[in-house]
Amino acid sequence: MKVSKILTVVALVFCVISSANAKKMYIMNFEKGDMPSDGTMGTLTEENTDKTNKMMLKVSTEGGKQVYFGEWGAKKGNWSDYELLKFKVFNPQKDIIRIVMNIGDADSQKAWDYNNRAQLTFVCRPGASEQEVQIQGTGTNSGRAIDFKGIRIWNITVSPNGGKDTTVYFGNIYLETEEEEGRKAKK
């Protein structure tokens, strides 16, 4: 009996320590009214929401042209303590779409071209999907390491799908440590 109580106490202490180390930072929290400062602003909506995303950003292409949203001069620029970038997407189309996220540091801001920024591609199946990517170790398209202590620019690009206008709904965009991810898996 005493051994089981001791094991229970040890397990509880481990959970408390693990949660204390876990971190999560929203770079765009639509529920709190955050809006992009660069590119297409999109529209906040309650369409296609769920338990974890009470508000979504609706972004649509028009006239066959791609659109993007994000921040130039990112308000939350120190991403160095986080491993994962996550967000929910709702794709109302019948086809798979691809979206691209560009990330840049101070050097990227000096020359915002293809080779001087990191580019992450996400595949979005029809319906709701969770998007997640490991960001630490990500480099620019030319191979230079991104300085995650000084993120200055990020944006997400939506392109027309097969020439047809496309609408996509985005949930909160956030960074998370792997400890937070591990803690959720244990619940």
Per-residue pLDDT at 86: 97
Residues paired with 121 in a beta bridge: 100
Q: What are 80-113's pLDDT values in tens digits?
A: 999 999 999 999 999 999 999 999 999 888 888 8
Cβ neighbours for 51, distance < 8 A, ≥ 6 positions apart: none
- For residue 4, the model assigns a pLDDT of 52
The tokens describing 29, both together, are 């929290």
Domain boundaries, the chain: 23-186
Residue-level pLDDT at 156: 95
DSSP state of 50: -
Q: What is the CATH number of domain 23-186?
A: 2.60.120.430
Angle CA(88)–CA(173)–CA(182) in degrees, nearest 5? Answer: 75
| Closest to 33 measured CA to CA, from 48, 55, 58, 49 | 55
- Flag residues of the chain having pLDDT under 50: 6-20, 183, 186-187
Please give the Cα distance from 152 to 138 (Å, whole number).
15
The pTM of the full predicted model, rounded to 2 decimals, is: 0.82
